[in-house]
Structure 1
Amino acid sequence: MKKLSIYAGLIAFSLTSAGALYAAPGNADPDGNHVVTKPEAMAAAEARFAKIDVNGDGILNAADRTAMMAKHFSKMDSNGDGSISQSEFMAIHEAGAERRADRREKRMEHIGAAMHEGRNGGRRGGGALPMLARVDTNGDKAVSQAEFRAAIEARFSKADTNQDGSISIEERQAARKMR
């Protein structure tokens, strides 16, 4: 169950990030016109998939999780001795402290605004496991590139309310309110 939770978290992160493709200009808006076209969103989603498909086999599964964990471990093990000392751990922790503080501040601003609007911090709840079940359409506990693309296309279509192949600022704002 723990492995499934870690794997589901990886999938949830990737889809949440992909969902943000049309939520914020700049992520999938290379021309900066504040309109995200379907080709822009799909290109950004493909880049995200390629990044988390560590072994490049076109499927997000336990092998990717293992490879990603090994990559993170080797990054933390700066002297390459096969173990992480307290000083290595603290060095990594301190290196990311400022970045985490900035993200936390932005998150708190978002949650504060959401609470003011009467929403649950912009989150529906349910966590990663239900998301994994929705995306893993064939139930093999792995998400293929085709399943990933289908989920992104469905999210894009839902946000593109006038079905013109692009998500305008107004559609983006409406999608945020729906979430």
Structure 2
Amino acid sequence: MKKISLLTLGAALIAVPVLAAPGGDRNATLTRAEAQAKAADMFAKMDANKDGKLDAADRAAKHAEMQAKRFASLDANSDGSISKAEWDQHGAERAAKRAERKEKRAAAGEAGEGKRDHMRGHRGKRGGHGMRGGHGGWMKADADGDKAISQAEFQTAALARFDAADANKDGQVTPEERQAQRGEWRAKRGAAPAAPANP
């Protein structure tokens, strides 16, 4: 059970600071120093209780924080309870957002269909691409097997991801190398099931 807790803490997040493009610019090249800085920043954000390790306590703290934010978003008048009117308003807002997304997908045509098909395999699993692989990248980061990820272990795993993406070993990950790494991850996760052939 503890292993599952660590997996759900953020399996895929080790890859995020490493391969995310600087400033969100997909055409930017990422240096190893930038990847190391991003990993340190990500670790600090994930270490909710600031004890220098990522473990079940951080997961519980993050869950409590998310629950509090969710409650606050539903409690429109901040009276400490959620009335039927507030609940109904929330439902109406969600329905409106779903309808808006559906319209955007319809306007996008085939591109929207492909994206929806890709996401279908991850329904209900935020960040699911790193969690399905059992003890993938996240548990491998726990080098000493103590069921917690230290900052040093996190950095080591993050830089290993960077180095794996840096195909020509020049200390930089280009957009092309980033795309190639994503392709390898998708291949490892397994392609989405193909549509059945017509007889």
By the TM > 0.5 criterion, same fold? yes
Q: In the superposition, relative to structure 1, how do residues 130 and 172 fare at CA in structure 2: closer, same or farther (>3 Å)?
A: closer
The CA distance in 2 between the partners of 1:80 and 1:155, in whole Å, is: 46
Deviates more, 1:4-13 or 1:40-49: 4-13
The CA distance in 2 between the partners of 1:155 and 1:110, in whole Å, is: 25
Aligned length: 161
Give the counterpart of 1:67 among 61, 70, 73: 61
What's the C-alpha RMSD, in Å, of the aligned pairs? 3.8
The CA distance in 2 between the partners of 1:107 and 1:144, in whole Å, is: 40
The CA distance in 1 between the partners of 2:151 and 2:88, in whole Å, is: 34
Unpaired runs of 5+ residues, structure 2, are 73-77, 106-110, 119-128, 186-199
Deviates more, 1:36-45 or 1:144-153: 36-45
Contact 1:74 1:80 in 2 (8 A): no
The aligned counterpart of 2:11 is: 12
Unpaired runs of 5+ residues, structure 1, are 114-122
The aligned counterpart of 1:137 is: 143
How far apart are 1:92 and its partner, in Å? 8.9
Q: In the superposition, relative to structure 1, how do residues 13 and 177 fare at CA in structure 2: closer, same or farther (>3 Å)?
A: closer
How far apart are 1:6 and its partner, in Å? 3.5
The aligned counterpart of 1:152 is: 158
**TM-score w.r.t. length of structure 2:** 0.62
How far apart are 1:109 and its partner, in Å? 4.0
The CA distance in 2 between the partners of 1:124 and 1:62, in whole Å, is: 17
Per the alignment, in what secondary structure is the counterpart of residue 23 of structure 2? coil
Amino acid in the other structure paired with 1:149: Q
Per the alignment, in what secondary structure is the counterpart of residue 136 of structure 2? helix
What do residues 82-104 of structure 1 show as CA deviations (whole Å, max 9, x unaligned)?
x76774697399469849x59xx
If asked which structure has higher relative contact order (CA below 8 Å, sep 6+), I would say: 2
The aligned counterpart of 2:175 is: 169
What do residues 3-24 of structure 1 show as CA deviations (whole Å, max 9, x unaligned)?
5424312231422433542xx4
Q: State the structure with more CA Rg.
A: 2
Per the alignment, in what secondary structure is the counterpart of residue 26 of structure 1? helix
The CA distance in 2 between the partners of 1:95 and 1:109, in whole Å, is: 23
The aligned counterpart of 2:41 is: 47
